Amino acid sequence: GRAMTTPWYVDTRLLFYRKDLLARAGFGAPPEDWAEWKRAMHAIKRVAGGDNFAILLPLNEFEQLLTFGLQIDEPLLRDRDTRGAFSSPGFVAALAFYRSLFVEGLAPLASATQISNVWTEFAKGYFSFYFSGPWSVGDFRDKLPASFQPNWATAGVPGPNGLGTSAPGGSSLAVFKSSPHQDAAWALVRYLSEPAVQARFNTIVGDLPARQSAWDIAGVERDPMLAPFRGQLSRAKAVPKVPEWERIVTEMQIVAERMVRGEYSPETAAAEINRRADRLLEKRRWMMEQGRAV
């Protein structure tokens, strides 16, 4: 049978940034393309001074590089999602841009575990751009002092030629067909899907309601920190729908870290990601050949 779910909440990632440092660096608005963003990051690094950086790109997280890779028009997998397509000119350009942020000293060579406290380091100016989702808005408000609140904001993700895309996320509710508690389960799903309940959930945890009518109740679009997420969600781009995807992007990031440490060029890194993706997709290719996968 078909798997069917009811959307519960949605999210995507965009930029949290130091509004004050960006202004001191000479930029009155957040950058919208890679070239302007690179100029802004260099300017911020000069303003921040010392051992500070412009952006945090934890080397053990794939989401940032994946966001860069989603900006391209080429697919990330080919041949009915049975082989990697990471050697496309667009993805190689994304790898090159990602690598340049480390080579040019704009991002620290560090994993998330090496950053003791993201909020403290952000407030200190150790980095000024940070990728995250709507759940972090509450953290920024709760963990940073009131006097610091005017100094940060959110903005859409820059792309190669203008505001770019990012991966959509979220969660859905489902009831197993074999469940002996169908009535109770569906009653819970209906309750959690009510606009007022979704709005309350947004207030508690920060995730965005799946129902547009709940946005008005929650005041999402009236919140200057949450409003940019609507535009980012409108530009969201789905990742390949294969069970192996999480393992593929994990391998992608392993190779990317080795690239920024000098072991690969963007071209050879792309080829290595393809090789690893093809290995992970070997069973899928066999199942496609047998007519047992779609």
* For residues 139-157, average pLDDT: 97
Contacts of 188 (CB under 8 A, 6+ apart): 173
* For residues 199-225, average pLDDT: 91
Integer Rg of the chain from CA:
21
Say how many residues make up the chain.
294
pLDDT tens sequence across 215-238: 999 888 899 999 999 999 999 999
Task: Quote the pLDDT of residue 292.
Answer: 75
* pTM (predicted TM-score): 0.93
Task: Quote the pLDDT of residue 288.
Answer: 86
Residues 84 and 277 sit within 8 Å (Cβ to Cβ): yes
Asked if residue 293 has pLDDT above 80, the reply is: no
Each domain of the chain, given as residue ranges in start order, spans 11-167+237-289
Residues 90 and 74 sit within 8 Å (Cβ to Cβ): yes
Residues 5 and 172 sit within 8 Å (Cβ to Cβ): yes
Task: Quote the pLDDT of residue 5.
Answer: 87
Q: How confident is the model at residue 4 (pLDDT cuts 50, 70, 90)?
A: confident
Q: Which two tokens stand for residue 199?
A: 């709005």
Residues 236 and 167 sit within 8 Å (Cβ to Cβ): yes
CATH topology of domain 11-167+237-289: D-Maltodextrin-Binding Protein; domain 2 (3.40.190)
Residues 34 and 15 sit within 8 Å (Cβ to Cβ): no
* For residues 41-55, average pLDDT: 96
* For residues 247-257, average pLDDT: 98
Residues 272 and 89 sit within 8 Å (Cβ to Cβ): no
Average pLDDT taken over every residue of the chain: 95
Task: Quote the pLDDT of residue 221.
Answer: 86
Contacts of 270 (CB under 8 A, 6+ apart): 86, 87, 88, 91, 92, 95
Task: Quote the pLDDT of residue 116.
Answer: 86
